[in-house]
Amino acid sequence: MNKKIKSKPSKKDSQLVLRLDKAERDAFVDLCKSLDTTAAREIRQFMREFVKAHDKD
């Protein structure tokens, strides 16, 4: 009975509301689905990379 315990990532406690063109949003969501990911996951990853690339420390 060797069970691996998966650690859960920290809970998200904030939201970012964006106004987008519906066609652009739908195309992005559809592409994410076809790549077996979510729009939220990809946007979070973009934000992490963007902040890291522009971190002045």
DSSP string covering 1-38: --PPPPPPPPPP---------HHHHHHHHHHHHHTT--
* Each residue's pLDDT tens digit, 1-57: 566 666 777 788 999 999 999 999 999 999 999 999 999 999 999 999 999 999 986
Q: Read off the pTM.
A: 0.74
| pLDDT score, position 42 | 98
Q: What is the mean pLDDT of the chain?
A: 90
The pLDDT score that the predictor gives to residue 11 is 82
Residue 54 DSSP symbol: T
